[in-house]
Amino acid sequence: MRNVMRVAVASVVYTLVMWILQGYWKLFFWVTQLVSRKQEYRADELACRIAGSEALISGLKKIHAGNAAFAAYWNFEVSPFLAAGFRFPITEGFERFISAPEISMQMQQQIDKELEKGKTNAFESHPPLRDRVAAARRLALPASSADSSPARVLFNDLRTEEARLLEMSTEGSADKVAALKPVEWSELPAILPRLWSETVTRNARLLGDLTPEGIPDVISKLPEIGLQIPDPKGMLLTPQQRTARAAELIGTALALAVVNAGWELHISPGERYYQLGTERFSVRDFLGKLLSQRISREEWAEKCRTLKIEGMKLASPESSRQMAIFQSEGHV
């Protein structure tokens, strides 16, 4: 009986102590973050007095939009090429990425959403964008002499600074970064088809005799195909991630087929399309419509005919020979 009482008392004391501690830390964070938000407003006011209200507002919008876009830029435009052994100019690439029409539109939509529905969170260190913009507009301070130079001019050697960033990231040590091949974004149309060709060749057994018009027949088999693709070193992928990798393999083989058919690849961070004459085409959109069932089997087959890829075996040796000829002629 005494043991039961002791356990009950200990449980009550524990609950009381945890309740007090939780209340203390909530109050502590609420006060410190409130002070932090006040400091941000003061910093904004100083910026307005130095450069003008509109300059601050413009800068805040760019920072918020850029912050939302950078993760996508890094994951889809930088990291895959680092893994392949190439190092593109990171800053220049991000400038290209946010200037791409589709990305720019998405960034503006994100800013509009923040300006419309931004709410203050008691435990955040920065006020929402909407409130900071409103505070700057209330000050209505005129602009000083503006300097339109981009921020990157503050660095004497931007490539070296980007290498330091990579060394501090999860990409690896200084030796690994030094081993990466420096390339320019203008070289990407020549590099990417070669990487596609390597991927298709490495997974030829999974593609078998598949042709572009036969892709609708393998959509239901993507989970099975994904299981046969080895996981990246040191990673254990989920079934959904393996299925996504299978879809990516099909998309890569399809993209290579389009290039082999004579379509010219136009690619830059945030923008990718193929052009033949005056006609433009996007493999990503085309395959996306099939995966989301927004295009019928008949429409898919007809598009394959117009693209001149009907009957082309995606993993055939002939396709590889066509690619070699295409590269030797300087098309990619």
Taking all residues of the chain, what is their mean pLDDT, rounded to a whole number? Answer: 87
Strand order in the sheet with 271-276: 264-268, 271-276, 279-281
Rounded to two decimals, what is the model's pTM? Answer: 0.78
Give the C-alpha distances (Å, rounded to integers) separating 322 from 15, 210, 318: 73, 17, 6
Identify residue 136 by its one-letter amino acid code.
Answer: A
Angle between helices 188-202 and 239-260 (to 10 degrees): 120
Query: pLDDT tens, 66-88?
Result: 988 999 999 999 988 998 899 99
Res 330 pLDDT > 80: no
Q: Which residue reads 């913009």 in tokens?
A: 133
Distance (Å, rounded) from C-alpha 93 to C-alpha 95?
5
What average pLDDT does this structure show over 291-317?
90
Q: What is the largest CA-CA distance in the chain?
A: 91
Beta bridge partners of 265: 274
Token code pair at residue 184: 């320019």
On the 0-12 / 13-18 / 19+ scale of CB atoms within 10 A, 241 is middle
- Judged against a pLDDT cut of 50, whether residue 321 lies above it is answered with no
